[in-house]
Structure 1
């Protein structure tokens, strides 16, 4: 039998001594109970404005209950999905123990007021995620990827420790709330140094450029762990900047740096995704870009928008990873169509929908109605709607007249829902320091806006594809270390 005459068979799912294990079911039930309890605290906060604290240790406020409800829901989905996905694995109990422990650690992190507790939870979160990345014991690639990720996470924890030690030294406070209260009474130079260290810690954890290597090397993680990573773990950077909002916003230059850092990752993440063919690595590049958006929103002073973004992105990316197997399709060159041309009518429908979307967002949230950084936030909504609407018009199979008319009927309500979620999240964050203070609009914000428009036009027109040198540079920038590649192309067996 020649190589091309081989047939591929799918055997029965192995049953490897996991039938008697009750831990997967136990942890799954526990995490869903945690979600129900989190929903109760969220409802209590919405109705009564309730806040609870254990002085010097934890504070259960609007951010805490929002993230509790979000994280436990994602974790519940991952636990339930994993009961089938991990069936037959010899280390299934260890996997579920790590995922459940990760959930608890994140819940502690978002509630921590003690600096020591916050730092310990941050470190534990990274070590647990590194262990999940290297979960498959038999793969040397998994061990290499886990080692790489662990080094990044330890560096992030070290940067956070430097920031917290500096803040403790200059303020004498041992809690996050104590630092927020003392920021206005100390010199700005140590605070700027601490803010820089906090930004580095957030960049590493959220896989922003140039720290994206650990994320793009993490494909050795089981798919449920990847979903938890992209829907939850990378969001820690936004949580960090919000918790220490009074520190990072003490100097306008720091906030401007955050905007530039976030915008850079947002733009590069989109471009890097365009040269990927692997489904999971496309999702990884997408996460780099989306985390850039989140960090940029924080830099603009819209911490509520950053939290809304991470919640909605978490839902989207968890779904994308858990359904990534369905994206695998075998197509020939004749099937590789890029979609129809938009046409004049389609272009008009897309542009009108995008502009109307910006108006709806501004009207419902009040952002973009004044001469401040809210204008840039609204521009991002317009560009995002423009891109999504154009893709819909080009790739749908509906008749042209119907789809052109349906685009605004679909996207405008979606933007209204987004604005509504944003308003609810912003109301939950009321009372947190530095929340609700948009940055003053300056020339650099205009430069960022022009860069986004230019990047959008370059990507949509495909002009950047004309340069083979640029293409090679983009491909090289997304290549993880060789030791983490699961299957080099030359090892593929063409059945």
Structure 2
């Protein structure tokens, strides 16, 4: 009975696909029927996701029967991971579709846009709830193609075409990698059922892994990195700003973070080949630092948010690569909600900036200020960590990631004390930092408890793992020092020249532009 109830989750993408098909009948201005149906479909999808989460809480993890022939067809895998992702995707979907009703009011192709939004949401829901490898691959590819149609909603914009071309090329390489991984997984474990594969992987003894699994995990790693806009194939993401704002928000509903979901879904398999996880951690950690530094130089609000997403996806994959899978899921949820809201409210940033406090960037900070801020951040982390000692996971990986949190707190505190700052501002900053630290421990413990039935515990790091963690902590510390002390070098010619190169992403995107022939494209479309 429970397995049959799990199958009802498929009604959510079915309803969304129906709206997408009906949008052909009302593709134009103010399609009232499509607007009403899309609202009902997204709310219904959220309610079905909520029902699925409740079912998992009552009955535990389960997989629905395959709707198809043998193992080939559609099935739903309901566990803590898919329950969380379904709720996240459907909730963001409700907000984005509702927002689009007003955002595109008056657009001559509003019906088309709503239909494409619903189609993309349906593909993502099929992806995160996939119970078998075939559905996973189909939904993975469908998500990319549906997003491609949204990127080209204004096909007359050259920059939109460039972004779509680069995304298309990157996605097809990722698709090929995932298909190769699926074939190897099927050969190694003898089944398409994801739950069965994870069970076999969990029970595999050291040195007894099936043949081809190391290559399969490497292909999964490459597919995940390509999907989540990691260096050096990140260039399309900042250029997505040529599309309507709801698309940027929708990206965070299981699309740009689908790479992380893929690694987390196959966490038990990935642990059979630690070099693949190390590869993810290295690329993700570098991308996090790279994107974070470039973000600071961007004058456009939406482009800055896009670079922030590049950096955040890198940090999320760093967590995956270190084996902190539950923390990575928490990161996906928190970042998705925050960034979707940030994009949808980006038009109000000027009004917010009028009343918001900003640090005195012209002030000349000192190393003494930096060490004082670091000491305060360490004190907050240690003190609040002691209060939550019953919740704190003492795994070395968690401590290393906590050190990166300390770097963020150090920057926040240092900025509050720059220049002629009132003590009230410093006090409020310390209270906010203490609150954020406490929330970090509580949410970390809650995520670990909630996802423990579906995800393996954090593995004990090997020597390569320790080296990667040490490198990550040192690198984030160096960037923190750079951010705090940057005002000292603002007037120097060297810094001004470096800022130009950093603002252009160190030109890592130039080669990709040449591959997709953007120069010819721009010459034909000089606008």
Same fold (TM over 0.5): yes
What aligned pairs does 1:339-354 form with structure 2 within 5 A after superposition? 340=363, 348=372, 351-353=375-377
1:253 to 271, 275, 293: 275
Q: Check 1:23–1:432 CA distance in 2 against 1; reply closer, same or farther (3 A cut).
A: same
Q: In structure 1, what is the Cα distance between the partners aligned to 2:489 and 2:454?
A: 43
Q: Which runs of 4+ in 1 moved over 6 A?
A: 342-347, 365-369, 484-488
What is the Cα deviation at residue 425 of structure 1? 2.5
Q: Check 1:146–1:41 CA distance in 2 against 1; reply closer, same or farther (3 A cut).
A: same
Instruction: Return 5+ residue gaps in structure 1 as ranges.
Output: 1-15
TM-score (norm 2): 0.80
The alignment partner of 1:442 has SS state of helix
What is the Cα deviation at residue 187 of structure 1? 4.1
Does structure 1 retain, via aligned residues, the 8 Å contact 2:370–2:481?
no
**Corresponding residue of 2:143:** 125
1:280 to 282, 295, 302: 302
The alignment partner of 2:63 has SS state of strand
**Corresponding residue of 2:91:** 73
**Corresponding residue of 1:105:** 123
The range that moved more, 182-191 or 301-310, is 182-191
Q: In structure 1, what is the Cα distance between the partners aligned to 2:149 and 2:415?
A: 38
What is the Cα deviation at residue 177 of structure 1? 2.0
Q: Deviations over 1:246-288 (max 9, x none)?
A: 2221133222222212111111111111222222221111111
**Corresponding residue of 1:11:** none
**Corresponding residue of 1:477:** 507
Does structure 1 retain, via aligned residues, the 8 Å contact 2:127–2:140?
yes
**Corresponding residue of 1:320:** 342
Does structure 2 retain, via aligned residues, the 8 Å contact 1:302–1:438?
no
Q: Deviations over 1:324-380 (max 9, x none)?
A: 22335999xxx9963656687897467414541355357647787646222211112
What aligned pairs does 1:177-256 form with structure 2 within 5 A after superposition? 177-183=195-201, 184=204, 187=209, 190-256=212-278
What aligned pairs does 1:107-186 form with structure 2 within 5 A after superposition? 107-183=125-201, 184=204
What is the Cα deviation at residue 96 of structure 1? 0.9
What is the Cα deviation at residue 120 of structure 1? 0.4
1:293 to 315, 321, 326: 315
Q: In structure 1, what is the Cα distance between the partners aligned to 2:102 and 2:287?
A: 35
Does structure 2 retain, via aligned residues, the 8 Å contact 1:464–1:470?
no
1:378 to 366, 379, 402: 402
Q: In structure 2, what is the Cα distance between the partners aligned to 1:251 and 1:359?
A: 37
Q: Is 1:304 paired with 2:313?
A: no
Q: Deviations over 1:301-326 (max 9, x none)?
A: 11010010011111111121112223
What is the Cα deviation at residue 394 of structure 1? 4.8
Q: Is 1:26 paired with 2:37?
A: yes
Q: In structure 1, what is the Cα distance between the partners aligned to 2:411 and 2:253?
A: 22
**Corresponding residue of 1:36:** 47
TM-score (norm 1): 0.85
Q: In structure 2, what is the Cα distance between the partners aligned to 1:275 and 1:17?
A: 39
Q: Deviations over 1:220-250 (max 9, x none)?
A: 2110111111453111111100111122211
What is the Cα deviation at residue 142 of structure 1? 2.5
Instruction: Return 5+ residue gaps in structure 2 as ranges.
Output: 1-26, 67-74
Q: Over aligned residue pairs, what C-alpha RMSD do you find? A: 3.4
**Corresponding residue of 1:53:** 63
